[in-house]
Amino acid sequence: AQTVTQSQPEMSVQEAETVTLSCTYDTSESDYYLFWYKQPPSRQMILVIRQEAYKQQNATENRFSVNFQKAAKSFSLKISDSQLGDAAMYFCAYRSPRGSGGSNYKLTFGKGTLLTVNP
Amino acid sequence: DTAVSQTPKYLVTQMGNDKSIKCEQNLGHDTMYWYKQDSKKFLKIMFSYNNKELIINETVPNRFSPKSPDKAHLNLHINSLELGDSAVYFCASSQGLAGEPLFFGPGTRLTVL
């Protein structure tokens, strides 16, 4: 079974600075998908960014980018020019492209990193 | 315009009661999910339906029964509620194709007294 580990329960960053959130995962598959979700205090889960394992190029969405290291099974999220609205819980998630019992249909989440943005 | 909606958003009830949470998505997705988020914010899959067929049932007590009347709806019924059932329950949907992200509803905070 795949596991996702976020080793930083909490992080903080000054407004306008850059912060990197770590995520590692364990899988025996060569093809899969990785995601970062954001959960602000409103508790709504919001998709931040998505990465396909077969693509070497790191995904980017505006101020959010990832550093995907497939060999190391690492998928970190970099937030540039941090804003107060970035304060939230961030979850890393893994999705298998195939598998028995419907396992390819679900996301497996890490335990989350709580990001605080200081003004 | 809400993509995935859940009702109610808050539910407070006594132990032993039976309650339901409803979920609807208007994204045209063919797969729907229930996730449970515990007090430590950990998200765990409970059930998934693809085209109204149950495809994931993750070691959930049989007091929990999902029902999907059609592709756009997935309801969760809970019998004989226990204190440990207190959590936030998220409904989500996706296209069943590999790699597609899940879109989540706003969550239902269930408190069992």
- Please report the number of interchain residue pairs, chain A to chain B, with beta-carbon separation below 8 angstroms: 64
Q: What residues of A are in contact with residue B92 (Cβ under 8 Å)?
A: 45
CB contact under 8 A, A109 and B106: no
Of B106, B99, B108, B93, give the one whose Cα is nearest residue B33.
Answer: B93
Report the sign of the C-alpha dihedral through residues A36, B27, A102, B57, in that order: positive
Q: Give the nearest partner residue to A43 out of B42, B44, B88, using CB atoms.
A: B88
CB contact under 8 A, B50 and A103: no
Phi then psi for A82, rounded to 5 degrees? -55, 140
Mean pLDDT of successive 10-residue stretches along chain B, which has 113 residues: 90 97 94 93 91 83 93 95 96 79 94 97
CB contact under 8 A, A45 and B98: no
Of B28, B37, B15, B4, give the one whose Cα is nearest residue B106.
Answer: B4
CB contact under 8 A, B98 and A97: yes
CB contact under 8 A, A105 and B56: yes
Confidence class for position A111, pLDDT limits 50, 70, 90: very high
How many angstroms separate the CA of residue A111 from the nearest CA in chain B?
Answer: 5
Counted residue by residue, chain A has a size of 119
How many angstroms separate the CA of residue B81 from the nearest CA in chain A?
Answer: 23
Q: What pLDDT, on a 0 to 100 scale, did the predictor assign at position B97?
A: 60
N-terminal to C-terminal alpha carbon distance within chain B: 34
Least confident of A51-55, A109-113, B93-97: B93-97
How many angstroms separate the CA of residue B79 from the nearest CA in chain A?
Answer: 25
Q: What pLDDT, on a 0 to 100 scale, did the predictor assign at position B33?
A: 93
What residues of chain B have any CB closer than 8 angstroms to a CB in chain A? 31, 33, 40-45, 48, 50, 55-56, 88, 90, 92, 94, 96, 98-99, 101-104, 106-107, 109
Share of chain A above pLDDT 90, in %: 73
How many angstroms separate the CA of residue B106 from the nearest CA in chain A?
Answer: 5
Q: Give the nearest partner residue to A106 out of B41, B45, B88, using CB atoms.
A: B45
Share of chain A above pLDDT 70, in %: 92
Cα angle at A58 between A16 and A33, to 5 degrees?
A: 115
